[in-house]
Amino acid sequence: MDFEEIFDEYFDKIYYKVLGSVKNPEDAEDITQEVFISVYKNLKKFREDSNIYTWIYKIAINKVYDFFRKRKLNLELNDEILDMEDGSDLNSNIILKEQLSKIKDVEREIVILKDIYGYKLQEIAEMKAMNLSTVKSVYYKALKDMEV
């Protein structure tokens, strides 16, 4: 299979998977372009006995993770994030910051992505290239540690 065939067959599939994670069409388009640039550059390294879609999908997951890391969503906790909801007040923001400071960075990242940004645990697992059951256990442990 040459690059053009791969691009034609998989671009839309990868785009919609990425869009499901990042929720923004422009960002999804940019990330998908990056995925296929990476595919093009590394196509000679692809093992023919492997599944091409799985390989491309793994590249996409890594690019989505890079996107969130670059945006500093994974560890950043600032007032802008806490003020996203209407009706939030200073006291609840202070309490939330205190609660989030009690947990580990990876737990904080998952809680922020789930409870503040509204991602599903499955989406977070895909973003972080983690097993869904691991993400669930980290999330529920974080809630317990925060005494929620």
Map out the domains of the chain with their CATH numbers. 3-70 (1.10.1740.10), 79-145 (1.10.10.10)
Residue 80 has pLDDT above 50, yes or no: no
pLDDT digits (tens, 9 = 90+) for 16-59: 989 888 888 999 999 999 999 999 999 998 888 889 998 999 89
Residues 6+ apart with CB under 8 A from 63: 18, 31, 34, 35, 38
Most confidently modeled of 15-19, 107-111, 125-129?
15-19
Q: pTM above the 0.85 mark?
A: no
Q: Are 38 and 55 in contact (CB under 8 A)?
A: no
